[in-house]
């Protein structure tokens, strides 16, 4: 009988074949979950003892089984919607969205973009105004910023939302907001950067296992029951196998259905090779608890992933940087393998315009996909609009009209409109309030107002933290390939970089 790991590897390979016939992201065929051996199938003779079926944390009706899957890793900046759609197009079985901090989601509004049909979670920027806006915008009004955008059709049943959190109640409150739109909720317990760790999130949770377990248990109690989707966690390895084992034993008992292990310890740099010494042990603990185990770290493509799954007995694999460079790494060699970068870049550019992706993010991704030595690399850096980009990349004939319309909507290039600076707009707002008699320093604060003050100052402190994280993120962005995990989406401007 095939072992569980052989079956998972076979399913991953089978997925490849299925995706070979896929012509669009929406038609990528999902893998068949590994069938759990039934006692009947496993019994050779009537009087032989019936081996117990391995346990499985039940997969809720709208959820996904992570077994047999090759998935796109969560990546701040690099995991925005067009990147995820491109990964799906090239055969990724599931896609993780970029880490989004619970604070940032709570208080966001959900809307469907009438032009694109995309679901967008938006907020008023708390600390800055965009420099430009399309001609349809009222220049005195602050722009709403999109903090999370998803495709309700092409990502249906495939998108896992990753939360940055350090508190069970907040995690549940944030997860409840997005749960109807996604196929799973994941908790980031691996980011070692100061802006995450200082808030007690990310890798800090590895050192506070009680808190991490409480967050996962709270999510696993409420989210599958109320929304029919599963909960998972992404961790890093700890220094010793004994430490990792104690942690994993604890986490797999919380009710989660999946665990991804990034095979580096928190202090390790991304360029250091992933270490696999503890992987078999983590896979075994997950299997014993009925939790699917995905491996992450230096996975380069589908064929290698299938071999690693077989070798280490995990259920599937997750790819980050190789997919950032070329999302066609999800395609097996037998189905065409890695696409030439100009092909991937053209597809990416179309998708970015289709979903109205922020130009700065599009440029950033393009510079990850275009080799630094290519002459167009520098040109892309200088582009200020989609029209500039399609021209620089030689697609003006086919994509020129689309680029112009995207520029019009986003207020780029010839459509750029200078906006009022923040202070002036705030002064105008204050003046307006005073004219309306509904505010001002002279007024005695009412009891209601008094009660709101602590909340307001908490909000101000959170804004301050957002500003600090944004600065860190901007700094991180300059050296993004050097960083383990850049800033999570804590504030609209952070997502926009």
DSSP state of 432: H
Does 166 participate in binding ligand FMN (rule CB under 6 A)?
no
Give the shortest CB-322-to-ligand FMN separation in angstroms: 6
- Give the chain's radius of gyration (CA, Å): 24
Q: Which of these is catalytic: 191, 263, 293, 383?
A: 191
User: Where does this chain touch ligand FMN (CB under 6 A) — which range of 296-304, 429-437, 453-461, 464-472?
Assistant: 296-304
CB of 194 to ligand FMN, least distance (A): 15
**Distant-in-sequence, close-in-space partners of 50: CB < 8 Å, separation ≥ 6:** 39, 42, 43
Task: Please tell me whether residue 411 binds ligand FMN under the rule CB under 6 A.
Answer: no
CA gap 309, 15 in Å, rounded:
14
Does 357 contact ligand FMN by CB under 6 A?
Answer: no
Backbone φ/ψ region at 292: left (φ over 0), alpha (ψ -120 to 50), beta: beta
Q: Which is nearer to ligand FMN, 239 or 460 (CB)?
A: 239
362 near ligand FMN (CB under 6 A): no
Angle at 103 between CA 231 and CA 205, to 5 degrees: 55
Residue 201 makes contact with ligand FMN by CB under 6 A: no
Stretch that binds ligand FMN, among 10-18, 82-90, 278-286, 318-326 (CB under 6 A): 318-326
Pick the piece of the chain touching ligand FMN (CB under 6 A) from 39-47, 293-301, 303-311, 352-360. 293-301
Q: Give the C-alpha distances (Å, rounded to integers) separating 160 from 56, 229, 417.
A: 20, 10, 36
191 catalytic? Reply is: yes
- Chosen residue from 234, 287, 395, 419 binding ligand FMN by CB under 6 A: 234
Q: Left if phi > 0, otherwise alpha if psi is -120 to 50, otherwise beta: which for 200?
A: left
Three-state DSSP class for 383?
coil
Residue 327 binds ligand FMN (CB under 6 A): no
Say whether residue 75 binds ligand FMN (CB under 6 A): yes
What does the alpha-carbon distance between residue 474 and residue 451 come to, in Å, rounded to a whole number? 36
Q: How far is the CB of 483 from ligand FMN (least distance, A)?
A: 7
Distances from the Cα of 359 to the Cαs of 79, 254, 410, in angstroms? 15, 41, 9
Report yes or no: 374 and 345 within 8 Å, Cβ to Cβ: no
Calpha distance 90→84 (Å, rounded): 10
Which is closer to ligand FMN, CB of 129 or CB of 148? 148
Alpha carbon 493 to chain centroid distance?
A: 16
> Does 485 interact with ligand FMN (rule: CB under 6 A)?
yes
CB of 476 to ligand FMN, least distance (A): 9
Q: Is 319 in the site for ligand FMN (CB under 6 A)?
A: yes
CB count in 10 Å sphere of residue 155: 24
CB of residue 74 to ligand FMN, shortest distance in Å: 4
- Under the phi-then-psi rule, with left for phi > 0, alpha for psi from -120 to 50, and beta for the rest, what region is 202? left
For residue 391, count CB atoms less than 10 angstroms from its CB and return exposed for 0-12, middle for 13-18, buried for 19 or more: middle
Q: Are the CB atoms for 220 and 258 separated by under 8 Å?
A: no
- Nearest distance from residue 193's CB to ligand FMN, in Å? 9
Contact flag: residue 296 with ligand FMN (CB under 6 A): yes
- 266 binds ligand FMN per the rule CB under 6 A: no
Instruction: For residue 212, state whether it binds ligand FMN (rule: CB under 6 A).
Output: no
Interface with ligand FMN, residue 178, by CB under 6 A: no
Rounded Cα–Cα distance for residues 296 and 128 (Å): 36
Stretch of 39-47, 71-79, 121-129, 337-345 lying at the interface with ligand FMN (CB under 6 A): 71-79
Q: For ligand FMN, which residue of 67, 69, 77, 350 counts as binding (CB under 6 A)?
A: 77
* Residues at the interface with ligand FMN (CB under 6 A): 73-78, 98-99, 162, 188, 190-191, 234, 262, 270, 296-299, 319-322, 480, 485-486, 488
- Which residues are annotated as catalytic? 191
């Amino acid at each position: 009988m095939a072992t569980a790991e052989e079956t998972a590897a076979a399913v991953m390979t089978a997925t490849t074949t299925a995706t070979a016939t896929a012509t669009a992201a929406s038609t990528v065929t999902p893998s068949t979950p590994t069938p759990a051996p039934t006692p009947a199938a496993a019994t050779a003779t009537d009087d032989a003892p019936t081996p117990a079926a391995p346990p499985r944390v039940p997969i809720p009706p709208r959820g996904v089984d992570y077994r047999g899957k090759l998935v796109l890793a969560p990546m701040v900046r690099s995991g925005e919607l067009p990147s995820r759609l491109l990964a799906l197009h090239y055969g990724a079985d599931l896609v993780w969205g970029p880490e989004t901090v619970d604070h940032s989601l709570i208080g966001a509004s959900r809307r469907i973009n009438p032009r694109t049909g995309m679901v967008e979670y938006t907020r008023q920027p708390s600390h800055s105004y965009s420099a430009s806006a399309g001609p349809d915008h009222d220049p005195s009004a602050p722009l709403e910023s999109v903090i999370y955008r998803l495709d309700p059709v092409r990502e249906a049943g495939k998108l896992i939302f990753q939360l940055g959190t350090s508190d069970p109640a907040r995690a549940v409150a944030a997860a409840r907001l997005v749960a109807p739109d996604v196929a799973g909720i994941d908790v980031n317990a691996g980011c070692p950067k100061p802006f995450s760790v200082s808030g007690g999130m990310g890798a800090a949770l590895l050192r506070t296992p009680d808190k991490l377990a409480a967050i996962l248990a709270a999510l696993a109690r409420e989210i599958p029951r109320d929304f029919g989707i599963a909960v998972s966690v992404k961790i890093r390895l700890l220094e010793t196998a004994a430490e990792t084992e104690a942690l994993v034993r604890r986490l797999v008992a919380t009710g989660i259905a999946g665990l991804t292990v990034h095979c580096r310890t928190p202090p390790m740099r991304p360029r250091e090779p992933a270490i696999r010494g503890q992987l078999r042990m983590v896979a075994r603990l997950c299997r014993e608890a009925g939790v699917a185990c995905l491996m992450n770290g230096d996975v380069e493509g589908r064929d290698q992933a299938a071999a690693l799954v077989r070798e280490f007995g995990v259920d599937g694999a997750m790819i980050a940087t190789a997919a950032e460079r070329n999302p066609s790494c999800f395609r097996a060699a037998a189905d065409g393998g890695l696409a030439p970068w100009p092909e991937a870049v053209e597809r990416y550019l179309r998708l970015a315009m289709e979903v109205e992706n922020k130009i700065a993010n599009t440029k950033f991704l393009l510079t990850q996909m275009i080799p630094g030595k290519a002459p167009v690399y520098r040109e892309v850096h200088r582009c200020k609009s989609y029209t500039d980009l399609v021209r620089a990349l030689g697609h003006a004939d086919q994509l020129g009209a689309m680029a112009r319309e995207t520029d019009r909507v986003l207020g780029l290039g010839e459509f750029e409109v200078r906006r009022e600076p923040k202070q002036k707009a705030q002064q105008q707002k204050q003046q307006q309030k005073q004219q309306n008699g509904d505010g001002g320093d002279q007024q005695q604060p009412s009891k209601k107002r008094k009660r709101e003050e602590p909340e307001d100052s908490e909000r101000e402190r959170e804004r301050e933290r957002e500003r600090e994280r944004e600065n860190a993120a901007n700094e991180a962005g300059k050296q993004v390939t050097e960083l383990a995990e850049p800033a999570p989406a804590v504030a609209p401007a952070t997502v926009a970089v």
